[in-house]
Amino acid sequence: MTPTEQLLTLSKSYCNLRGISERTASGIIFRDSRTIVRVKEGGSLTVRSFERALNWFRENWPEGSEWPAGVDRHVLPAQSKRAAKEPEHA
């Protein structure tokens, strides 16, 4: 399953479980109600936005609900904005 397929699978499953629209979920996760719809229509995300969305779903998945098959559930390490901008020194 591609990363985009994973994101869309999580979005669809989460929204069905919670009884909310994808626009609502997109607004909560991305602060933009069109992001998930745009991805469904062939748009893209930055890697950082994709990681943030997957972590959000992992941290907010309804307890007792089945996690979608084919989607990795490991939480990605959070990276601070400062750490993301600073190069590593050898």
Please answer whether residues 40 and 21 qualify as being in contact, where contact means their C-beta atoms are separated by less than 8 angstroms: no
User: What pLDDT, on a 0 to 100 scale, did the predictor assign at position 1?
Assistant: 87
d(CA 81, CA 57): 20
pTM (predicted TM-score):
0.79
Residue 3: pLDDT over 70: yes
Alpha-carbon distances of 57 from 21, 27, 62, 82, 89, rounded to whole Å: 15, 13, 9, 24, 33
Q: What single-letter amino acid sits at 25? A: A
Write the pLDDT tens digit of every residue in 5-52: 999 999 999 999 999 999 999 999 999 999 999 999 999 999 999 999
d(CA 76, CA 59): 11
